[in-house]
Amino acid sequence: MLKQTISQKLLQKLSPQQIQLMKLLQVPTVNLEQRIKEELEANPALEEGAEREDPILDDVDQGEDVGEEAFELDEYLQDYIDEDPSSYKLRSDNYSSDEEDKQVPIAVEESFHDYLEQQLGLLRLDSEEEYTIARQIIGSIDEDGYLRRTPVAILDDLMFSQNIFTEEGKIRELLERIQRFEPAGVGARDLQECLLLQLELKLEDVEDLDDEELLNLKRARFILRKHFDAFTKKHYDKLQKQLDLSQEELRDAIGEILKLNPKPASGYSSGNQRSAQYVTPDFFIYTREGELELELNARNAPDLRVNDQYRDMLKSYRNSSRKGKSNREQKEAVVFIKQKIDSAKWFIDAIRQRQQTMYNTMYTIMQYQYDFFRTGDMKRLKPMILKDIADITGLDISTISRVANSKFVQTEFGTFRLKEFFSESLSTTDGEDVSTTEVKNVLKDIIDAENKTKPLSDQKLMDLLREKGYDIARRTVAKYREHLGIPVARLRKEL
């Protein structure tokens, strides 16, 4: 049997303005200009410009009674007069003085694929079709210089995109010619082939090599061809026995391999794949007269205001409605105008709130980690979690997380990700709370100073950390080592 009941529920919903603010908080300074540009293109009521002195519609006379609809519109306009949102100055004294440079620096370099195509032009090919096939192969080479697509896949690409029907043999033949291009190793299908291609090119210049260099290169080639797996796993004792080499002879041969480049295209930036990146700080911290000062990066955050034409349209409609000349089309037009102005106002306000929230959050972090920002000593970093900053600022933890994500601060000691200042606490044997970041730095120093012929195991690293007062488990040492991107002892071994 069906029953009807009444119940009350308390739900928390974010308004469109709050959602917009949350999204803007995640945008780093380097991408803010693009986000503002997108909004300027989408909303004609929003424009870039400096602050004006004149308020919107400063000649509005609200004493005149023109009916209910006109009254509602005048009330709407008066809200704008009171708040004066015709222009919002989005910068204040806590911004950096870098006002003129609004552009993110861009690295202007010849792209890797351009360089390959220049060399392609020097090849003597039999037909235009061969040239097209060779270009398809070059286009399939990735940003590291490797050819990840198989000849069969390239065959399909040519059929569908170029309407060219060829054979695998032709593709392999042209690939071999491309693999002789600079940089050495380009067009390889895996690391082993990449290193072998480089060695083969070196061995072609026999006249420039003495007997010892030639012998070392041949041994290196043999190791790569026949014992690549043992080499990559650093099973040096096994290699030494199998090749019947002394430790010095093996070291010299391995040394020739280590001179090779595992990523042939690493010296180039690709215009259509991955361009060179520059870090643009979101904050600056300076020490002036012994005190820390925080500034927001003003780059890419122009002043915004409501468009003049939309303001004038509202004024015109008000005059028409007071004279009783408004019609249905005008009413529909003013609804559209109001929506666009509202959207512009919300965006301007969201940008303003973003800047204020970012400043308040970073200022709190700066005060919390005051000793570090004064000295640059990573050991001065205090344990700090998102909740610590949220409690002080009164902001939600998710808001602090959004501010900390993908943001950078430039200090006198370098540029840091905000995430680097957040870490859990760990108790020392003396009962003192220290940051896990400090423990990771100590761990890194120990590994950097180890004897690379006998690298330290995680158990030994744990023992050394405990000697320094950091009482942590072996599995925690392994976790911190992985966070630092340091491989296990076996893979750190050198001859």
Structure tokens at 397: 């933890």
Least confident range of 97-111, 373-387, 416-430: 97-111
Name the residue with higher pLDDT: 222 or 62.
Answer: 222
3-state helix, strand, coil in the chain (%, to 5): 55, 10, 35
Give pLDDT, residue 94. 55
Give pLDDT, residue 63. 37
Q: 135-188 pLDDT, tens per residue?
A: 999 999 998 899 988 999 999 888 888 888 999 999 999 999 999 999 999 999
CA separation for the pair 8, 261 (Å, rounded) = 67
Residue 22's closest CA among 319, 405, 342? 405
Structure tokens at 347: 């965006």
Most confident listed range (84-98, 190-204, 294-308, 399-413): 190-204
- pTM equals 0.52
CA separation for the pair 408, 277 (Å, rounded) = 14
For the chain, domains (ranges, CATH) are: 16-50+88-94+296-393 (no CATH), 107-183 (no CATH), 194-260 (no CATH), 423-492 (1.10.10.60)
Give pLDDT, residue 66. 34
Give pLDDT, residue 318. 66
Q: 318-358 pLDDT, tens per residue?
A: 666 665 555 677 777 777 888 888 888 888 888 888 889 99
Give pLDDT, residue 320. 66
Q: What would the mean pLDDT of 364-371 be, rounded to a whole number?
A: 93
Using pLDDT thresholds of 50, 70 and 90, give the confidence band for residue 67. very low
Give pLDDT, residue 106. 39
pLDDT at 38 over 60: yes
Give pLDDT, residue 77. 43
CA separation for the pair 296, 91 (Å, rounded) = 9
Give pLDDT, residue 327. 66
Looking at every residue in the chain, the average pLDDT score rounds to 79
